[in-house]
Amino acid sequence: MSIPLHISGNSSVHDFYCATECTWCDGCGDYGIMAAAKRAMVELGIAPHDVCLAFDIGCHGNMSDKMLGYRFHGLHGRVLPLAAGMKLANPKLPVIAFGGDGASFSEGVNHLVHSIRSHYPITFILHNNANYGLTTGQASSLTWQNQPMNTSPNGIPEDTMRPMEFVFSLGPTFVARTWSGDIKQMTRVMKAAIQHRGFAFVDVLQACPTYNKFASHQWLLEKCYDVSDEGHDPSDLEAAKKIAFDTSERVSCGILYQTEDVPHFIERLVPRKDVKTTPVEETKITDVSALMKRFV
Ligand SMILES: Cc1ncc(C[n+]2csc(CCOP(=O)(O)OP(=O)(O)O)c2C)c(N)n1
């Protein structure tokens, strides 16, 4: 990093506690994902005031009022440009974006493409429940073929997208897959993602007991295995693609691919070379009180 992250060095899970009532369904994978995200930050010494958390619209996006941190809840499909903007303004902040598969592979798929090829130094946690949860179970572009969903009782006529093939085609530098029932694994993967030099893509296969009857918690429990138990080398791109693409028998989880050799977006910005300050420190307009008065 040209500008090091500014992190307090210690925090506790309790620091992230927020009293807002959780409205997720019983058994929703979002509970586990939130627990892992908090644990990952705590284990890295990140306190709520150290981090920017950006949330998309959806069931998962309602996490924005269920944990502390500097939180922004954006428009559907737009979480990545929001997160990239935060990071460009203040590269000292760790920035973590959370998005659903509906948002990320339909409404905002363009932003996913350009975030990966731009190498924005941010973490992206995909809550992949393979459907549009908040709007009550419509098919997303990751819903499996032939699955009856609320607005497609005969299954979807379109082909299902293959997210790993798609992501790997864009030259990523960090690709991981994990699942919402394994908090230990999610925590380990998220820690590595937050520490990654560039754009970290973390596909979390998320149980959705209400609308996803095909990749249930039990199914994920039986199919998912940890690639670190089988000696996978995450620097081996071809091996990573092979285990990422083939999910016919088992689903590979853990860090699938990682390289720290590729400079990220800010490091590539020629006018920012050797600049030690951040745009937020450089801006003269820091007193926003007059502006805020217009809204009270
Ligand atoms: C541009 C836009 N399209 C559609 C919607 C309606 N909408 C709100 S939430 C949602 C479903 C979200 O699904 P997903 O992104 O997969 O997240 P999940 O609820 O499953 O966590 C939709 C379609 C919207 N708010 N804005």
Can you give the pLDDT at residue 48? Answer: 97
Tell which one of 55, 73, 75, 76 to mutate to probe ligand 1, the residue whose CB is within 8 A of the most ligand atoms.
Answer: 76
Q: Could you list the mean pLDDT of each consecutive 10-residue stretch along the chain, which spans 296 residues? A: 78 95 95 98 97 98 95 96 97 97 98 98 98 98 96 95 98 98 98 98 98 97 98 98 97 98 97 92 78 85
Domains of the chain: total: 1
Check if 130 has its Cβ closer than 6 Å to any atom of ligand 1.
Answer: no
What pLDDT does 291 receive?
A: 82
Using a 10 angstrom Cβ sphere, with 0-12 exposed, 13-18 middle and 19 or more buried, the burial of residue 271 is: exposed
Assess if residue 100 is contained within a domain.
Answer: yes
Return the pLDDT at 288: 80
Residue 98 CB–ligand 1 contact under 6 Å: no
User: 60 in ligand 1 pocket by Cβ < 6 Å?
Assistant: yes
Q: Whose CA is nearest to atom 9 of ligand 1?
A: 58
- Whole-number pLDDT of residue 282: 87
* 36 within a domain of the structure (yes/no): yes
| Residue 28 · residue 116 · CB < 8 Å | no
Question: What residues have CB less than 8 Å from 230, skipping those under 6 apart?
Answer: none
Q: Give the span between the Cα atoms of 33 and 206, in whole angstroms.
A: 8
Indicate whether 8 belongs to any domain. no
User: Ligand 1: does its nearest atom lie under 6 Å from the Cβ of 30?
Assistant: no
Q: Going by DSSP bridges, is the β-strand pair 251-258/174-179 parallel, antiparallel, or unpaired?
A: antiparallel
List the residue whose alpha carbon is closest to atom 2 of ligand 1.
Answer: 76
Can you give the pLDDT at residue 285? 64
Q: How far, in Å, CA of 37 to CA of 54, rounded?
A: 13
DSSP state for residue 67 in the 8-state scheme: B
Calculate how far, in angstroms, residue 77's C-alpha sits from the geometric centre of ligand 1.
8
Asked whether residue 95 is assigned to any structural domain, the reply reads yes
On whether residue 6 sits in a domain, the answer given is no
- 283: CA distance to ligand 1 center in Å? 35
pLDDT score at 163? 98
* Number of Cα atoms under 13 Å in the Cβ half of residue 108: 26
Q: Which domain does 281 fall in, by range?
A: 13-293
Which whole-number Å values give the CA distances from 225 to 15, 185, 234, 255, in the listed order? Answer: 32, 10, 15, 12
Q: For a pocket test of ligand 1, which of 135, 140, 206 has the largest count of ligand atoms closer than 8 A to its C-beta?
A: 135
Q: What is the reported pLDDT for 2?
A: 61
For residue 222, tell me if it sits in a domain: yes
> Is 4 within the bounds of a domain?
no
CATH number at residue 243: 3.40.50.970
- Contact between 59 and 134 under an 8 Å Cβ cutoff? The reply is yes
**Number of Cβ atoms within 10 Å of the Cβ of 244:** 23
Beta partners for 174?
A: 258
Q: Is residue 2 part of a domain?
A: no
Amino acid residing at 49: H
Give the separation between CA 175 and CA 164, rounded to whole angstroms. Answer: 9
The pTM is what? 0.95
Residue 73 is predicted with a pLDDT of 95
Torsions phi, psi of 5, nearest 5? -65, 145
Q: Is residue 100 in contact with ligand 1, taking CB distance under 6 Å?
A: yes
- Binding site membership of 25 for ligand 1 (Cβ less than 6 Å): no
Rounded to whole angstroms, the Cα distance separating 101 from 79 reads 12
